[in-house]
Amino acid sequence: MLIPFLPYHLDSLGFSTRTTGWIVAAFGAGYLIGQIACGWLSDRIGQRATLVTAMAAAASSCRPSRNSDPLLASSWRRT
């Protein structure tokens, strides 16, 4: 998992310590919510259907981010 290196990477991109903290906290919160939601969904519709649905959602979310503007991401930087 790359999360232990995320703060170092964000620091090299010029993000402030405060922004880096918010990004890492948002990742942790999203991970927690995802684990709870997928566990509940797995109990309701089954493990295989949950995995297929999660993989399809992850794959479909990668497509729009492929065309994202790197300048938009860099606008979060604090100089």
pLDDT in tens, the chain (79 residues): 567 788 888 888 888 888 888 888 998 899 999 999 999 999 999 999 999 998 998 888 776 666 555 555 555 555 4
Q: Which residue has the tokens 């065309």?
A: 67
In a domain, 22, yes or no: no
In a domain, 71, yes or no: no
3-state secondary structure 30-72: HHHHHHHHHHHHHHHHCHHHHHHHHHHHHHHHHHHHHCCCHHH
In a domain, 53, yes or no: yes
Q: Show the domain range for 35.
A: 29-59
> How many independent structural domains does the chain possess?
1
Under a CB-based contact definition with an 8 Å cutoff, are residues 3 and 30 in contact? no
Query: What dihedral angle (degrees, nearest 10) is formed by the CA atoms of 14, 17, 5, 36?
Result: -120
In a domain, 3, yes or no: no
In a domain, 6, yes or no: no
Q: What is the pTM of this model?
A: 0.63
In a domain, 43, yes or no: yes
